[in-house]
Structure 1
């Protein structure tokens, strides 16, 4: 089987899956990068991988070769770019495609009423509802968005991003979890300082915890348009001793900091399509406190089992759950251990690639017989490529509560 992955550019969140697919398929696997990596991403510590990976093809340098690969490969995985011209010839030929996507209505599902937008969604997605085209949902809200435009009925599966997993034996895992002891509690937040990532919330939480008399220290990694505002907040609230701003660090340095951190804070709203830092913080044995609106949260976190989920934007809910973690080192350790196991056992690149190759084989087999199988017939019970539930954003927090038996 020849399999080609097409996306805007490859990054450290996608390379592990691609490496595993290359391990499985060898020269029959290719990743086509459609555009150079943005300068902002390079400043954040991302790498330009062109020339380093044996399976990487650059569309902007080998257009005809890449076009042939997209059209002639047995299976194509397509996503991460809004430019439909790359995949249109293959779709027009009726060939199988696995599309992956984050949310299409990150700013609100009210946008689904736009006639122009609906026409575009029909052209790109809905008209293939009976074709051998499946949707890999990179986030818990994706299925609901596409359900609104009646696309991919019975053909939506869970997917995501899979940064490198650090494999740990029992001794290594126990050593990692030793950080959850008594004394000053370490908290961490990492990301671009953008309004929808809400870097102000960790600062407000630090103010809240300081007033309550807790012994803690918050490290914030990253930078961006809200950086000056965050600095001002820290100064005005007298939090210079409690909060440290580290600026941008290399991905490896971020992981090292996570491995020393007890509580990881993830505060983004619905515009966070996935959020691969969640995978990394869980793999690092952190007790995670995350907003329910983040795309990865419904797939990776189970409240009260491998972390805590707060209602997006609610400082009160966030503060109460942060207090719960600060008061209970044993619970921090339990959540951190369970979070690490979630990544080691299920949400990792090796398992995702194995399942993806198997799914591609099933879709191709059905296509050869002239049929299109339902996703539920091929889905796994849990984890990557399990069935993606259709849950409206406004109902997700309650759904997560009910799933955890929280009764809140």
Structure 2
């Protein structure tokens, strides 16, 4: 069985999944890179090592081969590539095609009323509702967006991004973080408005004098000088360390030493792979429910904490709870780690995908019971936090 994944470029969020597929399929797995990586990503510490992998092909260098793979592979995984014409050419043949998509209406579902937009979405998606075309939802808000355009009915499944998973034995895991002394709180990302890094300076001000803590800020961007000035104005410079950009491995090394990870991105964050990494590092995560990954990864008050609608006050309340309950904080971190190593990782995702594909080729739709490839529920964005809480009360696990 030949599987081809077409996307913009290979990166450290996609390499583990692709490596897992290559391990299962060998030379029958291919990744088509459609454009070189942007300079901004390279400046952030990302690298192009993935381009040397044996299964990676370049549309801009091997056009004929890539076209053949798109058209003749048993399965095409179609991420965002900037070359929709290739995906459309395949869809018209009726061959098995699985879309991998983040949100359609990240800025607001009101955009779904645009007649021009609806025509565009019909041509790309809705007209194939009865075809062997399926959707992997890279974020919990994706199903609601596609439901609005009546696409992929009964054919939407949970998906996401799978950065590298680190595995520890019991002794190694328990030795990652200091048991006594201050609580180390981490934030990592680009300093841009949608990430709301300014919440962390405000948090430092509110926690100062009340708790023994230190905030670690990893990243850079347009707001960096503004944030440093704000920290100085609020007299919290000693409570915050600004690291600048670090490589993904360096970020992970810092995560392993931190007790709490705070994720403040708003609704414009399609997924948020840094949350996978923080959970894998045993951090107790406090995260804004508006980001795509959170309702899939976090089981509120079991393996992490979610807060509603980007509320700073609710975020602060959850962080304070963790600082005041170190035993529960440690237990949430342990469960977070287990969530990643047992369920939300590249190896498990690849196995589930190939299991699902074999069923589809035989005319069966068999979703996984939980995690990747399980059925993706349609939940309105403004009801997601309530849905998470209600689901937890119903089954005791917060799964949906």
Partner Cα separation in structure 2 for residue 207 and residue 401 of structure 1: 30
Name the counterpart of 1:369.
none
Q: Secondary structure at the match of 1:4?
A: strand
* Shift of residue 173, structure 1, vs aligned partner: 2.2
Name the counterpart of 1:273.
270
Q: Is the CA contact 2:35–2:60 (under 8 Å) kept in the aligned structure 1?
A: yes
Q: Secondary structure at the match of 1:5?
A: strand
Partner Cα separation in structure 1 for residue 63 and residue 81 of structure 2: 16
Name the counterpart of 1:261.
258
Residues 1:344 and 2:341 aligned together:
yes
Partner Cα separation in structure 1 for residue 108 and residue 51 of structure 2: 39
Q: Deviations over 1:200-222 (max 9, x none)?
A: 111111111115x2111101111
* Shift of residue 262, structure 1, vs aligned partner: 0.5
Q: Choose from 230, 241, 251 the match for 2:238.
A: 241
Name the counterpart of 1:378.
366
TM-score for the superposition, normalised by structure 2: 0.96
Name the counterpart of 2:385.
397
Name the counterpart of 1:102.
102
* Number of aligned positions between the proteins: 395
* Long gaps (5+) in structure 1: 367-372
Name the counterpart of 2:296.
299
* Shift of residue 304, structure 1, vs aligned partner: 0.5
Q: Is the CA contact 2:12–2:50 (under 8 Å) kept in the aligned structure 1?
A: no
Q: Deviations over 1:96-148 (max 9, x none)?
A: 10101011111111111111111111111111100000000000100001001
Name the counterpart of 1:26.
26
Larger displacement relative to structure 2 (25-34 or 200-209): 200-209
Q: Is the CA contact 1:267–1:312 (under 8 Å) kept in the aligned structure 2?
A: no
Name the counterpart of 2:358.
361
Partner Cα separation in structure 1 for residue 156 and residue 77 of structure 2: 14
Partner Cα separation in structure 1 for residue 310 and residue 12 of structure 2: 29
Name the counterpart of 1:370.
none
Q: Secondary structure at the match of 2:214?
A: strand
Name the counterpart of 1:170.
170
Give the alignment of 1:131-280 within 5 angstroms: 131-176=131-176, 178-179=177-178, 181-210=179-208, 213-280=210-277
Q: Secondary structure at the match of 1:76?
A: strand
Partner Cα separation in structure 1 for residue 204 and residue 389 of structure 2: 26
Q: Deviations over 1:308-335 (max 9, x none)?
A: 1112321111111111001111011000
Name the counterpart of 1:12.
12
Partner Cα separation in structure 2 for residue 96 and residue 243 of structure 1: 51
Q: Secondary structure at the match of 1:241?
A: helix
TM-score for the superposition, normalised by structure 1: 0.94
* Shift of residue 237, structure 1, vs aligned partner: 0.4
Give the alignment of 1:30-179 within 5 angstroms: 30-49=30-49, 51-176=51-176, 178-179=177-178
* Shift of residue 50, structure 1, vs aligned partner: 5.6
Determine which structure has greater relative contact order: mean sequence separation of CA pairs < 8 Å that are 6+ residues apart, divided by chain length.
1
Partner Cα separation in structure 2 for residue 201 and residue 328 of structure 1: 22
Partner Cα separation in structure 2 for residue 340 and residue 224 of structure 1: 29
Partner Cα separation in structure 1 for residue 342 and residue 155 of structure 2: 25
CA RMSD of aligned residues (A): 1.4
Q: Secondary structure at the match of 1:279?
A: helix
* Shift of residue 51, structure 1, vs aligned partner: 4.6
Partner Cα separation in structure 1 for residue 191 and residue 75 of structure 2: 38
